[in-house]
Amino acid sequence: MIEDTKYLEFHFFHISLYDLASLGTLFSGLTLALLLVSAKRPERTANLFLSAALAVAVLKTGGLTPFFLPALGPLLYFYVRQLTSPDGRFHRRNILHFCILLVSYWVPTWLVLISVIVYLYLAHGMIEGFYRRLRPVTMDRPRFAFQRLNKALVLLGLFCLLSMFDDTICLTIALALIGMAVDVIRKADNGLQLTMPITDRSDAREKGRRLREVVATNRLYTDAELTLATLAQKLKIHPHDLSRMINQGLEKNFSDFINEFRVREIARKMRDPENDRLTLLGIAYDSGFNSERTFHRVFKELTGKTPLEYKNSLRKELPIDKLAAPPRISPLILRSESPLVWAEEKLNRNYMFSNYFKTTFRYLLQNRAYSFINIAGLSIGLACAMLILVYVQDEVSYDRFHQNVDQIYRIDKQTTKTDGSVSNGSYTGYFPGPRFAASIPEIKTFVRFQPARADIKTESDIRSQSVCLVDANFFSVFNFPLLSGNARSVLTEPNSAVITEEMAKKLFGSSNAVGKVIFIRQDSTFNPHVITGVAKNCPDNSSIKFQVLLPLKVSAMDESNNGNWFNSFLSTFVVLSPGAEIKALQNKMDGVFESDAGKAISEIKSKYKVKSIGISYLLEPLTAIHLGKLVPDGNEILSDKSNPEFSYILSAIAVFVLLIACINFVNLTIARSVKRAKEIGIRKVIGGTTRQLRIQFLSESFMLCLIAFTLALGIVVVILPVFSGLSNKVLSLSYLLNVKLIIYYIALFLITSLSAGIYPAMVLSNYHPVQTLYSRFNLAGKNYLQRALVVFQFALASFLIVGAITIYLQFNFLTTQNLGYDDHNLIVVNKSQLTRNEAAVFKQELMKNPNMIDVAPKNGGDNNNTVKVSGDQQVNIAVETIDAAYLPLLKVPVIAGRNFSDKYPADATQSALVNEAFVQEAGWKQPIGEQINTFNGESYTVVGVVKNYHYKPLTEKITPQFFTMNPGNSYGMLHIKIKPGTETASLQYIANTFKGLFPFSPFAYTFKQEKNEQSYASEARWKQIILFSAVLTIFISCIGLFGLSVLAVEKRVKEIGVRKVLGASVSSIVTILSADFVKLIFIALAISMPFAWIATNKWLQNYPYRITVSWWLFLSGSLLVVLIALITISFQSIRAAITNPVKSLRAE
């Protein structure tokens, strides 16, 4: 274990530091990208491009996906273009710049980086062009506006050039973009107006106000031929100055400026009864429009309604204040202004609810960043919950498609050893099914299921195929649908066969295979079998899976041999009568066994000198097999057995992610409540009740959840294939349409909406209107709930991060640990019943090729047995039948004695090698010369001790091995060592040689190294799941922390202003604002780290060979969490610290 610890520390500090830096860049980059998107500033469109570029870079350096990297150059190009030409628009043709994404998988990285450099050069050219367009003025500040950006582009180009030679330098590209994003956010309140100084802008606004009055008073807009030049001529000013007044003073273009007057005039005339005789088009022409199409387009753009819809709406509305005489002509309210509150003459409940949702929708549109954060968090949480529901639904649905499934049980065998330990297994023999059914009336029928493997020959080829031997009533007990064939008689003939639809297409090219013949090897000959039925492919949620079914035939000799009670090689299923008592049935089965096998039991007791054979029988429901723990995985005969703990863990993750999303909703809503305080006050003053306000806020919650739920469904549809691969399942989209799941989804939607909206609705609706309207309102209290929720979020996130680091390190330990033998360039070729002569000839032929280093045969599969040493001491062993070349080929050393050798003829029958684990369990001090006796009367002398090596995965402990050259044992595989770099040529030569020597046997091979890596597929899968969960949790938690930081700044905005006036520095204010949050993070770490230590230690106990949990593992996880939290907090704190104090204190 000391060596393991040294290895672990070296690996962590040598590799994982870059991984941690990449992970930190990923979190901080995504957080910055989100802040850029949500920021409200004039360069918002440009910031969208920078945000996307930053996300692309950190996704690459964070190791998630390099797919979007080709978009980095165009995104930076359009970012610079938007800054230098703010009036420019992104057109459809500009999408062509991103077409390279279509072939992203095939474009080499160096070519992508060259394209980025080209786009950076073009962006540099745009900045130079911007400088050339500027007129020299006295205060030419715009000439310095893009100096830092220009330098950043040059730096990015240099980093891209260097990254072509070393991929790790890509991290500097992400860091440079993060620096650019920080610079943008820092300038949030100190942005530079490139076109006009602040004093000029005020002058332009005053001139714009006067221009509006002149145009309105003189009705200049009614001139249908009015242009910028003609208006300037009428006003006797230069067109350039007029354009500047409109653009800078009114922040509009000429067309919008004039068309607003025209639309207002049209609306006024629509309200005037004297104009009822005129058509809408006549009114439009009279108001200055000269095109019907332009009139309709502009009117709808400005009002949101067509002219006809607007005119019709005038008949249904009247002012709320009926005491005041309505004016003859009411002003038109355009979209850009705050609308008056109107109501129908007849109020009804439907209108009230539609108004709630209309108001909600408008609020969400007005606060896009806030809505995006909430919707994104909720949709991710809901998508996780939906995916886990699909997974759990699949897990619990196993085998439930059979009729009368509640009455189908499997007979399991329980073995009690002499040391008192109990082992349960799903393997039984020929007798339990028929003899229990004959003696116990509660057992209505039985069926036996024996997985096997056979060589199948068709007209075209020979293949090794898994087959299953079953009783003739298989399709009567289990409901596997048949496409063709009679379920009752399809397996009654001895040479019949049933294949699945998939197998039929493989063998014959079509599912219409009934009556066709396949040849199956039995002993040494191929016997014909007629296809009597074709079954549908087995459902994915079935524990019993098959491709080829053959009739199970029991010979008369086996029927008469009572020793077959103790041979276990198949599974036995029984159908019980309704209401059968399971415990009583198990006692009856034990009684039948003891009476029927009494003679055989006595013989075993006498032969092996034991007092009890320790065998009893259990009944296990078919529906409990998949998730059951009665039978361990190693003793399970059926496929797809799962651990229920996986479902519990995934369900917990889904609940936590969804809970965190709801927490964020609450925190962000409360954080926004200060800005909505006056809105709430006005609503209460004009008659809004607390109940109506609560309904309003709940409506917002439901609207957000509805949008998030719809988006989550889309995410599930897109992510489901990836999740299927991650969970090692075949999850279909049809699972989403399951009636039970739909009910779960509806319940999930309602619970989420209520839980996320009820608390904000209760808090916000109770604000006092007088305090809010007189700006005396502040958020009182310590916000213990919000702080507790943040602590919970980060406690969970830090727990998952430590778990992800632990699983990552354990996985790397399993896949890189020295196995004790050399598995490189080692090919294993399977050949059942390989004789000594066949192995010798095969080796001789292979060694003719210079690419072959050595060849050694070995027995196939696992051969476990029990032997006696030192008298009557029993040792459970793994029997390995090898030759003298096997251990040298694997480079496994013999640490005591000698290896097998042809110089000692007795080695073939009388000598044995054992490993260190054998010597340790036997308690030998001098193992050489010790005797080993088998229960068959054979005796072996130990001639050598082999150093322990991991002949099984590191997830299993090394057990005693017994090596023999006994000629009575057949070989089942050959280990072939080849020269490095000759894989293709060597495989082709091996295949040709194999087919020449064994034309009627299928050629099957594996690379030993790849097979060893596949042994840790479960660990690899969980490494991905936990890492993904940690990233998701920390990301959503950062959103919540951001919301709380906004809340803190809103509460202390005037305090910050006073501190700045009194001389406080930016750093001191940032420290003050960040200190409280850092305390919360440390509290979260103090809570989570003990649980993380307990959980990681408990999880690692499942591995006999594991890493040592050290203090730096928890320290690194804690530092990562603190770093991410500080990055999230610091931007809001810095933004508040650099804000001009005049803005916050102007009302005082």
pLDDT tens digits, one per residue of 798-851: 887 888 788 888 888 888 888 889 989 999 998 888 888 989 999 999 999 999
Residue 324 pLDDT grade (very low, low, confident, very high; cuts 50, 70, 90): very low
Q: Which residue type is seen at 715?
A: I
Q: Do residues 959 and 876 lie in contact, with contact meaning Cβ atoms separated by under 8 Å?
A: yes
Mean pLDDT lowest among 154-158, 617-621, 639-643: 639-643
Please calculate the CA angle 48-52-53 and round it to the nearest 5 degrees: 115
DSSP 8-state secondary structure symbol assigned to residue 318: E
Q: What are phi and psi of 562, to 5 degrees?
A: -70, -15
Q: Do residues 470 and 491 lie in contact, with contact meaning Cβ atoms separated by under 8 Å?
A: yes
**Mean pLDDT rounded to a whole number for the chain:** 78
More confident residue, 320 or 1010: 1010
Q: Do residues 81 and 88 lie in contact, with contact meaning Cβ atoms separated by under 8 Å?
A: yes
Alpha-carbon distance of 928 to 933, in angstroms, equals 15
- Total number of domains constituting the chain: 5
Q: Which structure tokens are listed for 166?
A: 């070393």
- Pair 712, 622 in one domain: no
More confident residue, 749 or 414: 414
Residue in 815, 1110, 1109 with CA at minimum distance from that of residue 954:
815
Q: Do residues 1049 and 1133 lie in contact, with contact meaning Cβ atoms separated by under 8 Å?
A: yes
Residue 1144 pLDDT grade (very low, low, confident, very high; cuts 50, 70, 90): low
More confident residue, 902 or 1025: 902
In 3-state terms the chain splits into helix, strand, coil percentages (rounded to 5) of 55, 15, 30
Is residue 134 scored above 60 in pLDDT? Answer: no
- Considering the domain boundaries, does residue 1045 fall inside one? no
DSSP 359-418: HHHHHHHHTHHHHHHHHHHHHHHHHHHHHHHHHHHHHHTTTTTSTTGGGEEEEEEEEE-T
Q: How many CB atoms lie within 10 A of CB 628?
A: 16
**Partners of 451 in beta bridges:** 468
Alpha-carbon distance of 427 to 410, in angstroms, equals 10
DSSP 8-state secondary structure symbol assigned to residue 165: T
Show the DSSP H helices in 102-197 as ranges: 109-133, 147-163, 170-186
Q: Which structure tokens are listed for 1001?
A: 């046997």
- Considering the domain boundaries, does residue 1133 fall inside one? no
Show the DSSP H helices in 982-1065 as ranges: 983-997, 1008-1014, 1017-1051, 1053-1061
Q: Are strands 525-535 and 317-319 parallel, antiparallel or unpaired?
A: unpaired
- Pair 650, 616 in one domain: no
Instruction: Give the domain-ending residue among 1015, 1042, 1064.
Output: 1015
Q: Do residues 681 and 339 lie in contact, with contact meaning Cβ atoms separated by under 8 Å?
A: no
Q: Do residues 20 and 26 lie in contact, with contact meaning Cβ atoms separated by under 8 Å?
A: no
- Considering the domain boundaries, does residue 501 fall inside one? yes
Q: What is the pLDDT of residues 1094-1137, one digit of tens each?
A: 888 888 888 888 888 888 888 888 888 888 888 877 777 777 77
More confident residue, 482 or 422: 482
- What's the pLDDT at 179? 81
Q: How far, in Å, are 273, 316, 331, 333 from residue 328 at the CA level?
A: 9, 16, 10, 16
- Considering the domain boundaries, does residue 1043 fall inside one? no
- Pair 627, 649 in one domain: no
Residue in 555, 567, 569, 648 with CA at minimum distance from that of residue 604:
567
- Considering the domain boundaries, does residue 789 fall inside one? no
Q: What is the pLDDT of residues 754-780, one digit of tens each?
A: 766 676 677 666 666 655 555 555 544
Q: Which structure tokens are listed for 931?
A: 């005797």
Q: Which residue do the tokens 């040294």 mark?
A: 6
Q: Which residue do the tokens 């609560």 mark?
A: 694
Is residue 1073 scored above 70 in pLDDT? Answer: yes
- Pair 225, 345 in one domain: yes
- What's the pLDDT at 78? 85
Q: Which structure tokens are listed for 886?
A: 């096997």
- Considering the domain boundaries, does residue 358 fall inside one? no
Alpha-carbon distance of 210 to 636, in angstroms, equals 89
Q: Mean pLDDT, to the nearest integer, of 263-276?
A: 82
- Considering the domain boundaries, does residue 1144 fall inside one? no
- What's the pLDDT at 471? 94
Instruction: Give the domain-ending residue among 172, 195, 218.
Output: 195
Q: How far, in Å, are 406, 672, 779, 962, 1092 from residue 679 at the CA level?
A: 60, 12, 15, 83, 45
Q: Which span out of 44-53, 441-450, 800-809 was modeled with the highest average pLDDT?
A: 441-450
- Pair 81, 130 in one domain: yes
Residue 858 pLDDT grade (very low, low, confident, very high; cuts 50, 70, 90): very high
Is residue 199 scored above 50 in pLDDT? Answer: no
More confident residue, 476 or 461: 476
Please calculate the CA angle 495-500-503 and round it to the nearest 5 degrees: 90
Q: What is the pLDDT of residues 406-429, one digit of tens each?
A: 999 999 998 887 667 788 888 898
Q: Do residues 727 and 735 lie in contact, with contact meaning Cβ atoms separated by under 8 Å?
A: no
Residue 1 pLDDT grade (very low, low, confident, very high; cuts 50, 70, 90): very low
Q: Mean pLDDT, to the nearest integer, of 617-638?
A: 86
Q: Domain with 310 in it: what CATH number? A: 1.10.10.60
Residue in 964, 1082, 380, 1021 with CA at minimum distance from that of residue 712:
380
Mean pLDDT lowest among 129-138, 829-838, 959-968, 1049-1058: 129-138
- Pair 550, 683 in one domain: no
Alpha-carbon distance of 1003 to 576, in angstroms, equals 44
Q: Mean pLDDT, to the nearest integer, of 1143-1148?
A: 59
Enumerate residues 6+ apart whose C-beta is below 8 A from 1054.
1144, 1145, 1148
- What's the pLDDT at 229? 77
Q: Which residue type is seen at 706?
A: L
Alpha-carbon distance of 1052 to 1069, in angstroms, equals 11
Q: Which residue type is seen at 118?
A: V
Is residue 201 scored above 60 in pLDDT? Answer: no
Alpha-carbon distance of 735 to 392, in angstroms, equals 11
Q: What are phi and psi of 872, to 5 degrees?
A: -110, 10
Q: What are phi and psi of 878, to 5 degrees?
A: -105, 120
CB burial string 930-960: b at 16+ within 10 A, e below: bebebeeeeebebbbbbebbbbebbbeebbb
DSSP SS3 for 550:
strand
- Pair 680, 732 in one domain: yes
More confident residue, 568 or 857: 857
- What's the pLDDT at 964? 92
- What's the pLDDT at 348? 46
Q: Which structure tokens are listed for 254?
A: 């000429």
- Pair 593, 688 in one domain: no
- What's the pLDDT at 775? 54
Q: Which residue do the tokens 């204040």 mark?
A: 321
DSSP 8-state secondary structure symbol assigned to residue 516: -
What domain range includes position 333? Answer: 198-352
Query: Left if phi > 0, otherwise alpha if psi is -120 to 50, otherwise beta: which for 520?
Result: beta
Alpha-carbon distance of 990 to 1005, in angstroms, equals 10
Q: How far, in Å, are 63, 613, 803 from residue 1095 at the CA level?
A: 27, 39, 8
DSSP 8-state secondary structure symbol assigned to residue 15: I
Alpha-carbon distance of 23 to 27, in angstroms, equals 6
- What's the pLDDT at 948? 92
Alpha-carbon distance of 877 to 940, in angstroms, equals 14
Q: Do residues 883 and 856 lie in contact, with contact meaning Cβ atoms separated by under 8 Å?
A: yes
Residue in 14, 16, 71 with CA at minimum distance from that of residue 808:
16
Alpha-carbon distance of 1081 to 793, in angstroms, equals 10
More confident residue, 435 or 235: 435
Q: Mean pLDDT, to the nearest integer, of 49-69?
A: 79
CB burial string 658-685: b at 16+ within 10 A, e below: bbbbbbbbbbbbbbbbbebbbebbebbe
- Pair 174, 281 in one domain: no
Q: List, in sequence order, every beta strand (DSSP E) within 870-906.
A: 873-881, 894-897
Q: What is the pLDDT of residues 886-943, one digit of tens each?
A: 999 999 999 999 999 888 888 888 899 999 999 998 889 899 999 998 877 788 999 9
Is residue 310 scored above 70 in pLDDT? Answer: yes
- Pair 409, 390 in one domain: no
Q: Do residues 291 and 299 lie in contact, with contact meaning Cβ atoms separated by under 8 Å?
A: no
Instruction: Give the domain-ending residue among 579, 612, 635.
Output: 635
- Pair 84, 157 in one domain: yes
DSSP SS3 for 463:
strand
Q: What is the pLDDT of residues 1033-1051, one digit of tens each?
A: 777 777 767 766 776 776 7
Q: Which span out of 137-151, 458-472, 1023-1037 was modeled with the highest average pLDDT?
A: 458-472
- Pair 63, 78 in one domain: yes
Q: Which structure tokens are listed for 252?
A: 């509009």
For the chain, how many residues are written?
Answer: 1148
- Considering the domain boundaries, does residue 48 fall inside one? yes
- What's the pLDDT at 672? 65
Q: Which structure tokens are listed for 365?
A: 């549109």
Alpha-carbon distance of 1060 to 1057, in angstroms, equals 5
Q: Which residue type is seen at 147?
A: Q
Mean pLDDT lowest among 215-229, 731-745, 804-818: 731-745
